[in-house]
Structure 1
Amino acid sequence: MTILTAGSDMTVTLTKRERTKVRYPAAVVHDDGTHLAVRAPWAGAADRDFGFVRFEHGDVFTEHYWRDRWYAVKEVRSADGALKGWYCDITRPATVDGRTLVVEDLDLDLWVSADGGTVLRLDEDEFEESGLRARDPEAADRACEALDALEALAREKGLAGLLACDAR
């Protein structure tokens, strides 16, 4: 297993249905062999308004991935450092190939506002339309379990404890 050194550069590759959705550079913040955290600027070509949050040029994402969990949690801060919230992707466990982190997006997402008062389940319709239940029922079940677990954690305790590492 490859453990990446804090401060080193790497590439994050997010795939969806066996296609690359996005690829961007990031800096390793923490890697203990299971939990990997990286920091990267907003990778979108343009600002994106979701209605509940706006991702903008200058935003910084501290992204937490696990090699044994079915989700990724991205802490989102504005250019001035203000916490916007956490965007959570339901994914297969992350893998590292050399200096590339590869994560397969399974369509389900969760948004948690900075104050924890808003917790939104997202893209459940896309998940149902993806065909994952037919192609890989076990993965579909794991994805739904991960979304339920993250939502419960966000509502009960918040996400800060989940993200504990030297990511600041």
Structure 2
Amino acid sequence: MSANSADRGGRPLDVVLVKGGRTKIRYTAELLADDGTRVTVRAPWSGDGVRDFGFVRFEPGDVFTEYYWRDRWYAVKEVRDAEGVLKGWYCDITRPATLSDGELVVEDLDLDLWRSADGTDVRRLDEDEFAESGLAESDPEAAASAVAALYELEGFARVEGGLEALLD
């Protein structure tokens, strides 16, 4: 896909989340758009049953509209319940995404960010896992990019309409 053309999607593709060199999860999503830089997909909650984080529950029927960039170190997932009510945004810090042969591959770097639908709850997640991953020692440039991406996303999340503007 060239940067000068846009793919309006409508076809399935596999989203592959890699962590520590292994496939963490693979699921089928519908490609909504690909402008050459950002890939947008939609998929139902792919986890087994309910996942209760304490501040949000992901459960069967939830729908994720996911935004991945080829030039940014994060992915943003808009989460809605089965009736379409916005729960919030779950953001993964990742290496830039790659898309080829019907697979969107993203490497999870452990850091995450949550923003509730009303914007009153913005929280960093898994900073301890990131520290324990050893990325700062094994790939200091990637670790620095990951931390910068977390700060960038948190900036968007703390401004009213910030994440929405990023996704428009």
Q: Structure 1 length as normaliser, TM-score?
A: 0.95
Counterpart of 2:51 in structure 1 is 48
Does residue 119 in structure 1 map to residue 148 in structure 2? no
Counterpart of 1:34 in structure 2 is 37
Counterpart of 2:166 in structure 1 is 162
Instruction: Indicate which of 10, 15, 19 corresponds to 1:7.
Output: 10
Does residue 152 in structure 1 map to residue 155 in structure 2? yes
Counterpart of 2:113 in structure 1 is 110
| 1:5, distance to aligned residue in structure 2 (A) | 4.5
Instruction: Indicate which of 33, 57, 60 corresponds to 1:57.
Output: 60
| 1:153, distance to aligned residue in structure 2 (A) | 1.2
CA deviation profile, 1:122-164 (whole Å, cap 9, x unmatched): 0000000000001100000000000001001110243001111
Instruction: Indicate which of 25, 28, 42 corresponds to 2:28.
Output: 25
Secondary structure of the equivalent of 1:111? strand
Residues of 1 paired with 2:96 and 2:7: CA distance? 16
| Matches for 1:55-134 after TM superposition, within 5 Å | 55-134=58-137
| 1:53, distance to aligned residue in structure 2 (A) | 0.2
Q: Aligned partner of 1:161: which letter?
A: A
- Deviation >3 Å, runs of 4+: 1-5
Q: Aligned partner of 2:15: which letter?
A: V
Residues of 1 paired with 2:70 and 2:41: CA distance? 14
Secondary structure of the equivalent of 2:93? strand
Residues of 2 paired with 1:69 and 1:77: CA distance? 24
Identity of matched residues, %: 65
Q: Structure 2 length as normaliser, TM-score?
A: 0.95
Question: Structure 1: where are the runs of 5+ without partners?
Answer: none
CA deviation profile, 1:56-93 (whole Å, cap 9, x unmatched): 00100000000000000000000010000000000000
